[in-house]
Amino acid sequence: MKKRIPIKTHLLGPEDDIVEVIKKYCKDKIDKDTIVVIAESPLAITQGRFYYPDYIKIGYFAKRLCLFFPQIGSLASPFAMQLLINEVGLLRVLASFVIGSVFKVFGKKGMFYKLCGKQSALIDDTAGTIQPYDKVIVMGPKDPDKTAEEISESLGGVKVAIVDANDLGVAWTVGCSKGVDSKEIENIMKDNPAGNADEQTPIVLLK
């Protein structure tokens, strides 16, 4: 297994440029063989992709559709459901729900998320993120593959992966630059070395 180096940073916000953050905290630690792993929620926050529930106008379908999702999931919140509708469109959400429900009857789960796209699985409801972002709903990062490639180019071509990991032993490579083995990254990151609490280590270097 590659050596994993969690990098502690300041609390990231929408005023931060993730490339400049990486350069500031990692400039003496990165070489051509390093893989830079970035946690998806902090990256999304730097993109300004978080919303206060009080400012989200909930529509009819968001109020109804959220009732069909498990309470432990973010989409059980009408606010999160509305943001998903805003992001991918009502027709896609409805079609994914109908088709996913049919597949579920025949024992195949997860089709809703597959059909609706990455954002449906990346939304973090309130209390799902570090303070003060525990009062907002955080979307997934915008265009994660393209973003990873742009970050890679800005850092001189080092490999970059954007990862969603949790404390349940599951990691998902949401996006990555060219040459990254997404399955390898998921295996390396599945025990979540960056943590999900107040560690403030949104970057992990693999060497």
- Residues 69, 125 contacting (CB under 8 angstroms): no
**55 and 125 inside one domain:** yes
**109 and 86 inside one domain:** yes
CATH number at residue 37: 3.30.1330.100
Q: pLDDT digit string (tens) for 147-178?
A: 999 999 999 999 999 999 987 788 999 999 99
Token code pair at residue 146: 């393209």
Predicted local confidence at residue 130, as pLDDT = 77
More confident residue, 168 or 40: 40
Predicted local confidence at residue 7, as pLDDT = 96
Model-level pTM? 0.91
**42 and 9 inside one domain:** yes
* Domain boundary, last residue among 138, 154, 181: 138
H or E element that contains 39: strand 35-39
What is the domain count for the chain? 2
Q: pLDDT digit string (tens) for 73-116?
A: 899 999 999 999 999 999 999 999 999 999 999 999 999 999 99
**187 and 150 inside one domain:** yes
**129 and 153 inside one domain:** no
Rounded mean pLDDT of the chain? 93
Amino acid, res. 196: N
Cα distance between residue 158 and residue 31, in whole Å? 8
Domain with 80 in it: 51-138
Nearest alpha-carbon partner for 163 in 146, 178, 141: 141
Nearest alpha-carbon partner for 88 in 119, 114, 64: 119
